[in-house]
């Protein structure tokens, strides 16, 4: 195998003169993480690769549990309480009725870990796992499906609530600084994303499927919370770019395209990359004939203005709930003997895409899912061509992948030392039934019945071809988010509560342990007091691992 070493050219983001006390040095956001994990993916690239190598193939067998922290959400004794919702009635629990599952990636800055569950944010001592403070948000509603974590600017934290508020806290004390409503919960928006801080921009997105509302991404001032810019993921009126791909103004203004997952950023190009969600109505497409731009797309936005520079649509006229919100990973590589600035994504629809991140031009579109049966191939732009026969039908039609996708939100990883892109994938079938034949359906408009699964697979993909180099099958269930390191390790998890270290070049298992709950988001790593730690959330707990003798 050819070893490809890739780099990202980074330039310093200009920050305003007035900054809070510099608990987080903004320069940390511009390099691969070592003694911190300062943003959702560790750095802006989305690679989830660490240059740390104290834990490596020769000693990973000696990895031991250092501490565990169990999160208890709600109005616990000592919790700092905020929010716009009502206080719990006497004897009523304020805990999340969906239970507790840590889907956030904890940030680690100056020896403190910050993480979330819906309505809750914690600060935990990264040395010991002792709780430092806990903030609880009294909610007005919203779907409490999960929360990806916090963003950080100086001494300020930012997180989103299920009822669509952006909340800012003092990182040292957990006290609330301000909160701003970003969407109306009565329209059934709900927010799960982790904010991404770029310079003096706090970039947030939101979700929603039940009501047919438009998606958006917006930027807020970290000091005041004031709105700086807002980008709608579909045109708002006739004549706007992309409006020709919708039949009328009503369909585009109710068209979906949610921005569920944190994006990535190139500081040299000053472009922010994010994937957009599926169009609405979700599975019934008769009222929105056309490609429905800019849903199911990867878009590049100017970080200072929010204006779109380019787009690539992964699923034109989607009728299977295949949003393209999976992490768009950026790195530099060599294509046809020439250095290129690249962006790669393993998409929910079963395709691997490689794009030029300067222009958005497609380089590779290759199906990684062997069972995929909905596409007739790709067009001249690299976008898949849907097979109309696989749209939901009244008698039903068998489709792979199902609405859960061949890949989903748990983050992938790219290892510049192997040149391989790693992602958790799933091979399954569903039968899709059209249930709403009205010319203007609402909501989902179709039903789905699972019809068999071949299980989940961890794949190592050659970015130049999109072909799978090696695979590890997990018959028990889905895979969690990923982490690669310069110690020649790939950390992954599965729904059977295992944390596993693989050889990233060959896929051999080198170490594993059983956790106290199912893993979802990816592990993170950092160096603290001369020790490298691996931290991962499983179920309702954080687990920190380090070497018994570093």
Mean pLDDT, the chain, as a whole number?
92
Q: Residue 146: inside a domain, yes or no?
A: yes
The answer to the question of residue 19 being in a domain is: no
The answer to whether residue 321 is catalytic is yes
pLDDT at 475 over 90: no
The per-residue pLDDT for 10 is 37
Whether residue 430 lies inside any domain: the answer is yes
CATH number at residue 232: 2.140.10.10
* pLDDT at residue 307 is higher than 70: yes
> Number of folded domains in the chain?
1
364 found inside a domain: yes
What's residue 89's pLDDT?
75
- Whether residue 361 contacts residue 355, with contact meaning beta carbons closer than 8 Å, is answered with yes
Q: Quote the pLDDT of residue 390.
A: 97
Is the residue at 21 inside a domain?
no
- Which residues have C-beta within 8 Å of that of residue 92, sequence separation ≥ 6? none
Is 15 part of any domain? no
N-to-C CA span, the chain: 31
The closest alpha carbon to 315, from 266, 398, 245, belongs to: 245
Strand partners, 544: 67, 535
Distance of CA 333 to the CA centre of its chain: 23
Catalytic option among 119, 163, 321, 436: 321
> Domain range holding 541?
26-547
Cα angle 475, 480, 482; round to 5: 120
If one counts every other C-beta atom within 10 angstroms of the C-beta of residue 357, the result is 25
pLDDT band at 518 (very low <50, low <70, confident <90, very high): confident
Q: For 153-206, what is each residue's pLDDT tens digit?
A: 999 999 999 999 999 999 999 999 999 999 999 998 999 999 999 999 999 999
Q: Is the per-residue pLDDT at 343 higher than 90?
A: yes
Report residue 431: phi and psi, to 5°: -100, 125
Q: What is the pLDDT of residue 14?
A: 37
pLDDT bin (cut points 50, 70, 90) of residue 90 is low
Question: pTM for the complete prediction?
Answer: 0.94
CA–CA distance, 11 with 513 (Å, rounded to integer): 40
- Stretch 332-345: mean pLDDT, rounded? 97
DSSP, res 390:
G
């Amino acid at each position: 195998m050819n070893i490809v070493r890739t780099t990202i050219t980074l330039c310093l983001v200009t920050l305003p003169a007035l900054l809070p006390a510099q608990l987080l040095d903004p320069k940390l956001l511009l390099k691969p993480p070592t003694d911190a994990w300062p943003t959702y993916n560790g750095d802006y690239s989305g690679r989830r690769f660490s240059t740390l190598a104290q834990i490596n193939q020769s000693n990973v067998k000696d990895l031991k549990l250092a501490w565990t922290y169990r999160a208890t959400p709600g109005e616990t004794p000592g919790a700092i309480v905020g929010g716009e919702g009502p206080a719990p009635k006497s004897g009523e629990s304020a805990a999340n009725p969906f239970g507790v599952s840590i889907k956030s990636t904890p940030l680690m800055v100056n020896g403190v870990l910050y993480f979330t569950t819906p309505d809750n944010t914690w600060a935990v001592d990264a040395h010991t796992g002792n709780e430092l403070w806990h903030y609880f948000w009294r909610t007005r509603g919203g779907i409490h499906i999960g929360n990806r974590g916090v963003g950080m600017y100086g001494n300020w934290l930012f997180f989103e609530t299920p009822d669509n508020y952006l909340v800012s806290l003092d990182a040292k004390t957990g006290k609330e600084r301000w909160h701003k409503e970003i969407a109306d919960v009565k329209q059934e928006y709900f927010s799960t994303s982790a904010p991404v801080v770029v310079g003096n921009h706090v970039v947030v997105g939101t979700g929603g499927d039940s009501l047919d509302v438009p998606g958006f991404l917006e930027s807020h001032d970290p000091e005041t919370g004031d709105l700086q810019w807002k980008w709608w993921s579909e045109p708002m009126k006739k004549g706007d770019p992309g409006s020709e791909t919708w039949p009328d103004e009503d369909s585009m203004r109710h068209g979906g395209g949610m921005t569920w997952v944190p994006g990535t950023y190139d500081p040299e190009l000053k472009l922010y990359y994010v994937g957009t969600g599926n169009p609405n109505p979700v599975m019934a497409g008769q009222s929105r004939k056309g490609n429905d731009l800019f849903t199911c797309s990867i878009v590049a936005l100017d970080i200072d203005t929010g204006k779109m520079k380019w787009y690539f649509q992964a699923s034109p006229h989607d009728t299977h709930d295949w949003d393209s919100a999976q992490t768009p990973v950026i790195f530099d590589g060599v294509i046809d003997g020439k250095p290129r600035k690249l962006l790669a994504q393993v998409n929910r629809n079963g395709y691997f895409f490689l794009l030029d991140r300067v222009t958005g031009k497609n380089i590779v579109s290759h199906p990684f899912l062997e069972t995929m049966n909905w596409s007739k191939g790709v067009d001249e732009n690299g976008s898949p061509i849907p097979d109309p026969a696989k749209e939901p039908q009244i008698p039903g039609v068998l489709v792979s992948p199902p609405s859960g996708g061949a890949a989903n939100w748990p983050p992938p990883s790219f290892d510049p030392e192997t040149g391989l892109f790693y992602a958790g994938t799933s091979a399954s079938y569903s039968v899709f039934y059209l249930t709403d034949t009205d010319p203007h359906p609402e909501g989902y408009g179709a039903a789905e019945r699972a019809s068999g699964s071949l299980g989940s697979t961890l794949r190592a993909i050659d970015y130049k071809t999109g072909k799978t180099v090696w695979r590890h099958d997990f018959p028990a269930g889905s895979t969690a988010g990923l982490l690669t390191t310069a110690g020649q390790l790939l950390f992954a998890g599965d729904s059977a509560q295992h944390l596993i270290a693989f050889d990233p070049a060959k896929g051999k298992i080198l170490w594993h342990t059983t956790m106290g709950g199912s893993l979802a988001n990816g592990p993170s790593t950092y160096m603290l007091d001369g020790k490298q730690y691996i931290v991962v959330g499983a179920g309702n707990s954080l687990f920190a691992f380090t070497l018994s003798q570093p």
